[in-house]
Amino acid sequence: MSNKIVVGYDSSDSTKATLDFAIGLAKSQGAAIVVAHVLEWSPYSFLTPDELEERHKRRGEELERAETAILAPIVKSLEKSGVKVTTALKYGGIADTLCDIVKAEGATQIVVGRTGSSGLSSRIFGSVAGTLAQISPVPVTIVP
């Protein structure tokens, strides 16, 4: 396995702190960072062929926007960090997709932020961080 750390990133203030933590960790371990952004996408829809075509087109546009507006600026801002930074941009359920990225990259750890959400939905469905702590194939660091 390579020495890579996958960082779940969504451009919120809390994930910026998570990225700062991950950069420090990568420097101390001589690791590379994979900044991973997951666009949630539900496969459970009954659509007509025309609707499927439109949905596929929108998906491509969303990926392009996320690459340009979220990932490219973060990579640029980390150029002088001394850490090798790559990105991963995928559609899917966030926790499962982050695990898929870990496996594909051969990463040794996941670093994610804790959103602090204590609303009804997180109590019913669980948080991404909580789910990752249960299903991840590698250690998970949850940054407060």
- Quick: pLDDT tens for 31-76: 999 999 998 866 656 767 787 777 778 888 888 899 999 999 999 9
**CA torsion, ordered 75, 81, 85, 89, to nearest 10 deg:** -40
For 46, half-sphere exposure in the C-beta direction (CA atoms, 13 angstrom radius) is 0
CATH number where 73 lies: 3.40.50.620
19 in Cβ contact with 13 (< 8 Å): no
SS3 139: coil
Closest Cα to residue 18, out of 93, 114, 92?
A: 114
Closest Cα to residue 87, out of 122, 37, 44, 29?
A: 37
As a whole number, mean pLDDT of residues 21-29 equals: 96
- For 9, the domain range is 4-143
Choose the most confident range, by mean pLDDT, from 55-59, 92-96, 119-123, 136-140. Answer: 136-140
pTM recorded for the entire structure: 0.84
More confident residue, 41 or 104: 104
Q: Residue 53 has what pLDDT? A: 78
How many domains are there within the chain? 1
Q: Residue 19 has what pLDDT? A: 92
Q: Whose structure tokens read 């670093």?
A: 111
